[in-house]
Chain A
Amino acid sequence: MADAVIVVALLLVAASATVAVVTRDPVRQALVLAVLGVVLAVLFTVLQAPDVGLSQLAVGSALTPLLLMLTVRKVRRRGQEKGRGR
């Protein structure tokens, strides 16, 4: 019966990972990835690996979205400059 929380965490990870793959727009994908990072940290905690969960929280909830959003912004700016050059 105590496995119920593990099943819930696994289902949440599967659902959020599927949504992250299905989403096409990179900005929205970054939002889903932030949620996926939090859900993965919960899964690691439930599986009694809180140390892995801590690093997953640090990387997944703030760092990955920041890198993705900065990249999207840079690519868009470069596209705009190219459009102006023509």
Chain B
Amino acid sequence: MNGWTLAATVGLAGGLGTALWGVATGPLRRRVVAQNLSTALACPGLLLLSQAYGRPSYVDLGLVLALLGPVGTLVFARLLADELAEDPPRAWGPTWAVAGLGAATVIALCVATGPSRAMVKLLVIGALLIGGNVIASRALSGGFRGVRRG
């Protein structure tokens, strides 16, 4: 068991466990935030696993998750707009904390890969992950007025 596997195990257990707890209990606004953060936490875990197994092609899973995770959250933001407008979620602290965790993971993996095409791919995934996460979080808190006409 190398350090990458350990980091992936701890990150997935802690991150997804917390997200699962958040999505299982509490009011609706907490549940949608937890659902958003679960995708943002699973993506760095998948990237770490790809490094742990020494298989660069596994990075595609992280890429797909970074693309589709925010899409899933936007589905909820659009179709739950009425419920969320009464009680909008405000979770910028956790959002930026998770974004920082993702950035730290991507930077560590970039250092391990060295300058190459794989590093560019990792940087693209990191940018997609953080950008999509912030946009989805903003849509959930009612930042885009047009989304509210659900």
A residues with a Cβ closer than 8 A to B are 1-2, 4-5, 8-9, 12, 15-16, 19, 23, 27-28, 30-32, 34-35, 38-39, 41-42, 45-46, 48, 50, 53-54, 57-58, 61-62, 65-66, 69-70, 73
Given contacts A35-B23, A53-B61, A65-B72, 5 further A-B contacts (CB under 8 A): A12-B20, A31-B34, A42-B12, A50-B60, A61-B71
Which residues of B approach A to under 8 Å, CB–CB?
A: 1, 5, 8-9, 12-13, 16-17, 19-20, 23-24, 28, 31-32, 34-35, 38-39, 42, 45-46, 49, 53, 57-58, 60-61, 64-65, 68-69, 71-72, 75-76, 79-80, 83
- Chain A residue contacts of B46, Cβ below 8 A: 41-42, 45
Contact status A65-B12, CB under 8 Å: no
Q: Decide if B20 touches A15 in the complex (CB within 8 Å).
A: yes
State whether A8 and B24 are in contact (beta carbons under 8 Å apart), knowing that A2-B5, A46-B49 are contacts in the complex.
Answer: no
Task: Known contacts A31-B23, A31-B35, A69-B79; decide if A8 and B65 are in contact (CB<8 Å).
Answer: no
